[in-house]
Structure 1
Amino acid sequence: MRGLVIDTALGGLSVALFEHGTILASRHELMARGHQERLGELVRDVAAEAGGFDGLGRITVTVGPGSFTGLRVGLAFALGLGAALDRPVLGITTLAALAGSVDSPGDASAGLPVLAAIDARRGEVYAQAFAGGPAVV
């Protein structure tokens, strides 16, 4: 089954299409603003490179914490695309996505605890601990 992932939560825009854990195509651009202008183009490019949306089973999008405007753009786009393609849309926290990017099968660090942290500004951080996948705190 194929999956499309969209991340607009932080200072960038990331889109990837994967199948059975293998990334078929991906794009990433650093940007603080302008997600709404680029998101559709990046999804189009990723889909074209991966051979389209045939077999797409779900769309996953980050739901925060992060930039309110970026999150709103990503969620609205994912929900619209999900409705157009009649595919489910799943939300994943930005911290879970960040932690998941560290652990990969066969990696020497696989299964070790991971602390995902994001600058919340004003001297604060968003943080969550994960152990082998699920959150522990």
Structure 2
Amino acid sequence: MITLALDTSTPYLTLALRWPGGELESTERIERAHAERLPGSVQALFAEAGLDFRAERLVIGSGPGSYTGVRIGASYALALARVWQAELLGVPTLCALLSRQPGLQAPALDARKENVYGALYRVEESTVTELSPPEKYTQADFAALAQDRGAELRQDAVPSGLSLIHAAGTLAQGQPQLRLSYL
């Protein structure tokens, strides 16, 4: 099965492809140029992988993020899913900040005014488990929560499309109903 992941809710354009026998990802900081860069970047990723422009599954980072950024990615993914008749799964953008190393992880995104949007996850080789749902915290409170739980704090890490695919495929993170969230 060919899976395309994309996330446009952060200043990064995050893309990944996984197919039988391979995987490829691209993450580029583009600030607010998602609408201009997304279609061409997705086509270029398929070309680099040597694949036809078609996937059976799409995974989208569903936020939190800027209203415009989240909507750009969601609109593009919904359109591709309809055209390709592909499955579409939504995964919290915080999952894109998870490393693939096993353990407790506390990903967080800047929510302005000394706040973060964060959650706690247990990452294992074959599963990602949400221990606390994404919500808004003060930076200090979230750092203390991560420390108390012995979790690796991953604040403003560079997002990974392959981490989105991993989270979507391992548990109830991949939601067939797309629920978008905004900072």
> TM (normalized to structure 2)?
0.65
In 1, Cα distance between equivalents of 2:75 and 2:86: 14
Question: Could you give the per-residue CA deviations for residues 31-78 of structure 1, whole angstroms, max 9, x where no partner exists?
Answer: 221211110000110111222247732001111101111110000000
In 2, Cα distance between equivalents of 1:16 and 1:65: 19
Aligned partner of 2:73 in structure 1 is 74
Instruction: Please list every run of 5 or more consecutive structure 2 residues that lacks an aligned counterpart in the other structure.
Output: 133-183
Once the two structures are aligned, what percentage of the paired residues are identical?
Answer: 34
1:18 aligns with 2:12: no
Aligned partner of 2:94 in structure 1 is 95
* Greater RCO (CA < 8 Å, at least 6 residues apart): 2
One-letter amino acid of the counterpart of residue 29, structure 1? E
Shift of 1:127: 1.0
1:126 aligns with 2:125: no
1:135 aligns with 2:134: no
One-letter amino acid of the counterpart of residue 11, structure 1? P
Partners of 2:10 and 2:65 within 8 A in 1:
yes
Shift of 1:29: 2.0
- The two structures, once aligned, show a CA RMSD in angstroms of 1.8
Aligned partner of 1:44 in structure 2 is 43
In 1, Cα distance between equivalents of 2:118 and 2:10: 14
Shift of 1:117: 0.9
Q: Which moved more, 1:25-34 or 1:14-23?
A: 14-23
Aligned partner of 2:4 in structure 1 is 4
In 2, Cα distance between equivalents of 1:46 and 1:34: 17
Partners of 2:43 and 2:53 within 8 A in 1:
no
Shift of 1:28: 2.4
Aligned partner of 2:106 in structure 1 is 115
Aligned partner of 2:59 in structure 1 is 60
Number of aligned residues: 128
SS at match of 1:131: strand
Task: Extract structure 1 runs of 4+ deviating beyond 4 A.
Answer: none
Shift of 1:22: 4.2
In 2, Cα distance between equivalents of 1:11 and 1:29: 8
> TM (normalized to structure 1)?
0.85
In 2, Cα distance between equivalents of 1:82 and 1:123: 37
In 1, Cα distance between equivalents of 2:54 and 2:76: 19
